[in-house]
Amino acid sequence: MNFGKPNLEYYDHFWAPLYEKDIDVLDQFQWRLSKMKRKQAQAATQEISIRYKEKLFHCEVIKYWRGCGISILGGVYDSAGQHDL
């Protein structure tokens, strides 16, 4: 666990911070950027899980409909789908 200042991952060499306030500005910028990236990643995973749940629900509905159709027509059709009449 790191209790110090975060490393400046997005630091570029076009501006070399000479003063402590400049370093603090870079730290704040990086913190906001990393927070934004975390939120985007969370939103993407939530969207994927919602799509997965919707697909799962539709699969369950189709299984239910197929199950009801088999039980309703169970006396008329055998397991191979051949007509028994």
pTM above 0.75, yes or no: no
User: Which amino acid, 9?
Assistant: E
Measured CA to CA, the distance from residue 83 to residue 76 in angstroms comes to 6
Counting every residue written for the chain, the total comes to: 85
The residues spanned by each domain of the chain are 19-74
Q: Is the pLDDT of residue 10 over 80?
A: no
Instruction: Tell me what pLDDT residue 61 has.
Output: 73
Q: Is the pLDDT of residue 84 over 80?
A: no
Q: What is the pLDDT of residues 24-55, one digit of tens each?
A: 888 888 888 888 888 888 887 777 777 777 77
Measured CA to CA, the distance from residue 23 to residue 42 in angstroms comes to 28
